[in-house]
Amino acid sequence: MKIAIINGPNLNLLGAREPDQYGSQTFEAYYEKLQSKFTNINFTYYQSNIEGELINELQKVSNLVDAIVLNPAGYTHTSVAIGDTIAAIKAPVIEVHISNVHAREDFRKISHVSAKCKGTISGFGMKGYELAVRSFLLAE
């Protein structure tokens, strides 16, 4: 199975960025552990701070992978275009948020991507990425 993990803006700063919200682990350290847990999965990882680059990557990988785990970060709450991309591509997408977006500011309760995704995982810390991966492994 091939799974693409895509992270949006400021998630390159995980580890240093607001540790109370997002913990103190870098994504690179977490990603290494994730890969070692699922040696039969072929992972790819992409991060960008730029909306159009995230859209290009979603379009590109959608034909190459079985599933996508996406944390659109701040673009969750603003990007009609990323929502449109998820609706347009074939690969199933799970939306992940490290923090519980529903327990934070009101603007974070709005998502332009949730309705287009297979499901959303929010509030489980970095573990959310693993939960998303596991959900793809469970038989329907």
Footprint of ligand DQA on residues 89-118 (CB under 6 A)? Answer: 97-99, 101, 108
Hey, is 13 helix, strand or coil?
A: helix
Which residue in the block uniquely carries the two structure tokens 């919200």? 21
**From 30, 75, 97, 112, active-site residue:** 97
| Contacting range for ligand DQA; rule: CB under 6 A; set: 31-39, 62-70, 72-80, 113-121 | 72-80
| Contacting range for ligand DQA; rule: CB under 6 A; set: 31-39, 41-49, 58-66, 68-76 | 68-76
Selection from 84, 75, 68 nearest residue 50 by Cα: 75
Question: What does the block give as tokens for 22?
Answer: 């997002």
Hey, is 124 helix, strand or coil?
A: coil
Nearer to ligand DQA, 105 or 140 (CB): 105
Residues recognised as catalytic: 22, 97
